[in-house]
Structure 1
Amino acid sequence: MIGAVPSRHHGIADDLRRQITTGRIRPGERLPSESGLAGRYKVSTVTLRRALAVLQGEGLVEKIHGKGNFVRRPLRKVTYVGGWGTLDPWTAADVDLRVTVRTTPMVAHEYLPALLRVPNGSPLTEFLCLSYEGKSPHSLARIYVPGDLEPTAVPGDGFSCARAEPSFAVLSPPPAEVRETVSARIPTPDEASTLRINPASAVLAITRIAADTAGRVVEAALLVFPGNRVDAVFTTHHVIDERQTQG
């Protein structure tokens, strides 16, 4: 039986991968233009883009809009510690994260009224936070706070790795209750574009709802991490009834 002949774009991906892993093309280096690479390999730009998509999916290459394709610098993982949206300081200290924050007043619509348990049209503040390692996006967070609550920390400071507990939260002290839902899924087109990842690669999505002692939701956060850039750790503390220990 004759084996199947590898497709042309896989052969191109293999050749580029070999050049990247052997150091011939170095991390951070810009690849030749797509038309230039297509001419070099004597293929159409469609075939060439399929080859690049393979390398993008593997995390070896990233495409920056308006600039071209670059060899991605190895991104180190950080550990997300469940409970109040913190990053493990030991892993976060090794990653130089820079954060951009955009604050937008808005009203609750679509899925937000159910998420924050507020009437449709209620005033909210959205904090759109995008963290970078070097020039590469590392994570995306959308944090929503009811309009009558004022954040006690400047957004962005909580992501600073200089702090003992870098946090994906804008309110303090910690709320009475935090509920986190974790799922692995395919990114939305907007998430894939923002994080510069292959649309077919998996992301770790965390929805965190924080409530006060009265049960009011004081903050809702939607966190998205490329699957190869974070580990999530959750610890359960069992409360022992002292009456059971008394003889």
Structure 2
Amino acid sequence: MSSRHHGITDDLRHQITTGRIKPGERLPSESELAGQYKVSAATLRSALAVLQREGLVEKIHGKGNFVRRPHRKITYVGGWGTLDPRTAAGADLRVTVRTTATVASGELAALLRVPTGSPLTEYLCLSHEGHSPHSMARIYVPHDLAPRSLPGDGSPSSRAETGFTVPIPPPAEVRETVSARLPTPDEATILRINSAAAVLTVARVAADMAGRVVEAALLVFPGDRVDAVFTTHHTTDERTTQE
């Protein structure tokens, strides 16, 4: 069974990498493939699972298995959490935003420095490249600061660069913590990625002049889809001396 499993994987991989089966193309149904290779459904699914882990095949629930299109890289601009519009436009990203009322608890209450149970507005921002999820962000804002409407709320946004920010009062301080880790089961499901593939996360906390936290956000990018750029501007204190 093992050798047949690997033989199917090798054959399908060869067809994909040589372009015989093109990016975005739907594979025959699992029952058709099992009949074609004269193997059980379990053996066929094991072979497809290998290709899914390799990122060559994407299984879309209710639609079937598709050859995955290579995702383009975008640039995350640190300092105030935007997606570089040049790279976002190049990747043809569409951003949808889902708004939910929630309350602060646990780590979220600590990040926002508010009492447990304080009302918040959550924005789930999900970018798509074509039909495939690209990256995501969960943004939390105190309820009294949440804007009444947001571009892309509930529908595709025409401005990808605004997709991972919320128009709130300009912050005086932005603290971003960047780390690499494995995705949570929820993140792997939403982004349709292998649970063993590393993601780059940016935990962003913004505060106003009075020190009030106006936003806490967690951005998640599959590691092969983003470059994060942080620029520091130094000012020179020029003193004029009089002779």
TM-score bin (small chain): 0.7 to 0.9
> What whole-Å deviation, never above 9, does each CA across 1:110-133 have from its counterpart, x for those lacking one?
321012111100000001111111
Q: Which range moved further: 88-97 or 47-56?
A: 47-56
Q: CA RMSD in A?
A: 2.4
- Equivalents in 2 of 1:45, 1:156: separation in Å? 41
Alignment of 1:20-35 (within 5 A): 20-35=16-31
Q: Which residue of 2 aligns with 1:242?
A: 238
Structure 2 unaligned residues grouped into runs of 5+ = none
Of 222, 226, 231, the residue aligned with 2:227 is 231
Give the number of aligned pairs: 239
Of 103, 106, 109, the residue aligned with 1:107 is 103
1:193 shift after superposition: 0.8
Mark the CA change 1:109 to 1:44 in structure 2 (over 3 Å): closer, same or farther: farther
1:39 shift after superposition: 3.7
- Equivalents in 2 of 1:9, 1:202: separation in Å? 26
The answer to whether the aligner puts 1:217 opposite 2:202 as a matched pair is no
Alignment of 1:86-165 (within 5 A): 86-151=82-147, 154-156=150-152, 160=157, 162=159, 165=161
Mark the CA change 1:47 to 1:237 in structure 2 (over 3 Å): closer, same or farther: farther
- Equivalents in 2 of 1:10, 1:202: separation in Å? 25
The answer to whether the aligner puts 1:73 opposite 2:69 as a matched pair is yes
Q: Which residue of 1 aligns with 2:170?
A: 174
1:51 shift after superposition: 2.7
Of 190, 203, 206, the residue aligned with 1:207 is 203
- The one-letter code matched in structure 2 to 1:118 is V
Mark the CA change 1:204 to 1:47 in structure 2 (over 3 Å): closer, same or farther: farther
Q: Does the CA contact (< 8 Å) of 2:96 and 2:157 recur in 1? A: no
Q: Which range moved further: 59-68 or 114-123?
A: 59-68
- The one-letter code matched in structure 2 to 1:98 is R
Q: Which residue of 1 aligns with 2:37?
A: 41
1:223 shift after superposition: 0.7
Structure 1 unaligned residues grouped into runs of 5+ = 1-5
